[in-house]
Chains A and B, each alone.
Chain A
Amino acid sequence: MGRIVLEKVSKSFGDVEVIPPLDLEINDGEFVVFVGPSGCGKSTLLRLIAGLEDVSGGRILIDDQDATAVPPAKRGLAMVFQSYALYPHMTVRKNIAFPLRMAGLDKAEQDRRVEQAAEVLNLTDYLDRRPGQLSGGQRQRVAIGRAIVREPAAFLFDEPLSNLDAALRVGMRLEISELHNRLGTTMIYVTHDQVEAMTMADKIVVLQAGVIEQVGSPLELYRAPRNKFVAGFIGSPKMNFIEGPEAEKHGAHTIGVRPEHIAASPSEGLWKGTVGVSEHLGSDTFFHVHVDGFAEPMTVRAGGEVGLRHGDTIHLTPEEDKIHRFDAAGLRIA
């Protein structure tokens, strides 16, 4: 079981309130991602759930038990840190066995579980090495191994992939998702990378300045962002925002169109502009277009083989039913 409920949980450091009271429900077996820019309080929220920080107000329930005053070790949660936080003086075997040793399991059971975890994570050949002799990806797997042997109620991941290079990150992302499918255990995952959030999550919690901006499945957030912040944060490249007369035509203060929802043509279209920078990714091309009368350049996604160059004239047409409308406060207009 691993159902976690936050009720009016808040956190202040001195006079600074980093998390105003918030409510959140995480269901058993869910993969929940906390995402937001640096300093939005996502890591603090995770540490509150872990018990590494004390809440300033509210309650944390784990499987319907009040865990607010329970020390971290007794919450039945396992955490994987950004820095891996392996014990440098212990071998991989001892690192993974450490939580079992602390729980007082007998040696045979410890060995059995360590071997099992090592097999799942492809670490069998490295069990007698020290963390210093491993690569970044291997260290991260050891950290995950140390978490899974405990068979916790939930896993907490604090930006676990940000120290890895891009290729490894994609690989580990898949491994963690597979692990979640296999174990079916609740996972809470903190990241600033919206791609990680979109690809891994059952449910995304978007945070800004300690406030939950929106909770929903990746596609809900993509299709119906509750406000401009979520609209801009979810999706890559970022949504284009247009203010002024063009927005007023749609009865909104601001309208938003995603780069993939704009058709580009050299000859005809709704908006006329000039191509600035083009980014060729092979499968796609992203054009940065200076549209006449718009304050900000727009980003447009086109096919990989579109032959437009810097300085060429381009005509853009947004898909009418994919235009997002926002009021002056930045909230979505339904």
Chain B
Amino acid sequence: MARTVTTPRKLINTAFAWAVGLLIFFPILWTILTSFKTEAQAIASPPIFLNFDWTLENYAVVQERSNYTRFLWNSIIIAGGSTLLGVIVAVPAAWAMAFVPSARTKDILLWMLSTKMLPAVGVLYPIYLLFIQLGLLDSRAGLVVVLMLINLPIIVWMLYTYFREIPGDILEAARMDGATLKEEILYILTPMAVPGIASTVLLNFILAWNEAFWTLNLTAVDAAPLTAFIASYSSPEGLFFAKLSAASTMAIAPILILGWFSQKQLVRGLTFGAVK
């Protein structure tokens, strides 16, 4: 028998879900609200929630003080480039692991994932030195490579899981129908894996966009993305909450909008392998 849920029970569940959702969203909402306040209102005690004088002044100042477009462009190149490069490396890797697994495939996958457990700061020093040696410090190319490597285990895992869901019979049918390996990949596998590849790309673009540790440590001016743009407002003249909030809002807006429009793909990406 299906579990029956009474109406009051449903109401409580709904209210609870909304409460959790609001709790998670509150810091973002507060940041956005603060960005429209004056500096004095921003630090007012007790805090003002909605009845303040809405102003766009902070955005004007931020825009005047720093070149938002340049940071945005860097973010797009670094997140997009690392995702693209990651997919190009990961597709053949995941393909091989899903369809011609060896006795060690599971170990390799777990080992790749285990690198994600390593604290990033543990390898900061060697990578920093490498970057100096190779002249990659504060370059977009360097960040593209580092972020690709950071996210590669996740990309490989996700693609591997998606490929595994494609029934082997269908690939064998294609083989029987006269398809070469190339045709099998081009006409059968790729079209069938497109939803999986799309959610992988999306999720990794967002991860790369939000990545702050490496982008802050390995950039200064030329390659600095939006994370550095936000950070630049927390120093050195002291904290200007309203302006910092305006900068933050500008930095997260593109990715929030992207995420909003691609919710379905994202949910599929985040629950990958859980449901078929």
Contact = CB atoms under 8 A, between A and B. Distances in A.
A67 interface: no
A153 B174 CA distance: 18
A74 B176 CA distance: 8
Interface in B159-185: 167, 169-170, 172-180, 183
A73 B192 contact: no
B188 interface: yes
A77 interface: yes
Contacts of A98: 174, 177, 179, 187
Given A73-B180, A102-B183, A85 B175 contact: no
A17 to B, nearest CB: 20
A303 B191 CA distance: 58
A81 B183 contact: no
A79 B178 contact: no
A102 B172 contact: no
Interface string A62-92: 0000000001111001110111011111000
Interface string A36-54: 0000000000000010100
Contact of B169 (A85, A89, A146): A85
B176 A73 contact: yes
A33 to B, nearest CB: 20
Contact of A85 (B167, B179, B180, B183): B167
A29 interface: no
Interface string A85-106: 1111100000000110011000
Given A73-B180, A102-B183, A87 B175 contact: no
Contact of A99 (B167, B172, B177): B177
A211 to B, nearest CB: 26
B169 A102 contact: no
A99 B178 contact: yes
Given A85-B169, A89-B191, A89-B192, A52 B177 contact: no
Contacts of A85: 167, 169-170, 172-173
Contacts of A82: 169
B179 A79 contact: no
A262 to B, nearest CB: 44
Contacts of B177: 73, 78, 98-99, 102, 146, 150
Interface of A: 50, 52, 71-74, 77-79, 81-83, 85-89, 98-99, 102-103, 146, 150
Which 3 residue pairs are nearest across A and B when measured between Cβ atoms?
Answer: A102-B178, A85-B173, A85-B169
